[in-house]
C-alpha cells in the first residue's frame, strides 16, 4: 500500500466523524415531538457543521501544499532536462543521489515494468515508483533523441552515441 493510499484512506475515515457526531446522539435523544428532538440534536448538528467546515479547509490546505510540492518537483525536472540537453551537466551529475532523495528507505512503492525504454522502466528491486517516475520524466527526452529507429529501446550503436 502506497503512502498516498494510506493518506487518502485516513481522510476518508476522518470524514465519517461528523456523521457519527449527529447519528449517535440522535439515537439516544428522546422527545414527544419533532421539535423536542430537533432541539436536542441542534447542538450536535452545529458541532458537526463546524467540524465539516474545518475539515474542508484542512483538506484544501493539504492539496495546496501537494500542488506546491509537485510544482517544485516539475521545475527541478525541467531544469535537469535543460542542463542535460545543453550538455552543461553529465548524466551522472544529473542523477547523482536520485534514489536516496526519492526513496524513504521503507521499501514501499516498488516499481513494476510499464513497457517501453526498459532501462528506465525496469526499476528493479528496491527502487520506488516515485524514483522510477522521476527517472522516466528526466530521461525520456534524451533517450528519444538518440533512439533513431523509434523502437523505444536503445540499441548498442545508439547507446554508444548516448554515452559518448
Residue showing cell 540499441: 155
pLDDT for 39-60, tens place per residue? 888 999 999 999 999 999 999 9
pLDDT for 90-124, tens place per residue? 766 766 666 666 655 444 444 444 444 444 445 44
CA–CA gap between residue 84 and residue 148 (Å, rounded)? 18
For residue 153, give the DSSP letter.
S
**Is the pTM for the entire model greater than 0.75?**
no
Amino acid at each position: 500500500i502506497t503512502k498516498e493510499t494510506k493518506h487518502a484512506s485516513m481522510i476518508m475515515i476522518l470524514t465519517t466523524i461528523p456523521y457519527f457526531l449527529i447519528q449517535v446522539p440522535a439515537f439516544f435523544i428522546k422527545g414527544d415531538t419533532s421539535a423536542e428532538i430537533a432541539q436536542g440534536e441542534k447542538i450536535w448538528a452545529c458541532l458537526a457543521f463546524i467540524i465539516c467546515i474545518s475539515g474542508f479547509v484542512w483538506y484544501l490546505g493539504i492539496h495546496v501544499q501537494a500542488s506546491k510540492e509537485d510544482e517544485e518537483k516539475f521545475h527541478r525536472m525541467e531544469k535537469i532536462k535543460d542542463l542535460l540537453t545543453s550538455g552543461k551537466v553529465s548524466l551522472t551529475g544529473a542523477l547523482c543521489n536520485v534514489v536516496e532523495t526519492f526513496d524513504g528507505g521503507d521499501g514501499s512503492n516498488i516499481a513494476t515494468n510499464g513497457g517501453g525504454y526498459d532501462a528506465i522502466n525496469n526499476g528493479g528491486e528496491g527502487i520506488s515508483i516515485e524514483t522510477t517516475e522521476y527517472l522516466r520524466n528526466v530521461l525520456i527526452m534524451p533517450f528519444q533523441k538518440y533512439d533513431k529507429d523509434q523502437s523505444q529501446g536503445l540499441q548498442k550503436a545508439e547507446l554508444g552515441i548516448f554515452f559518448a
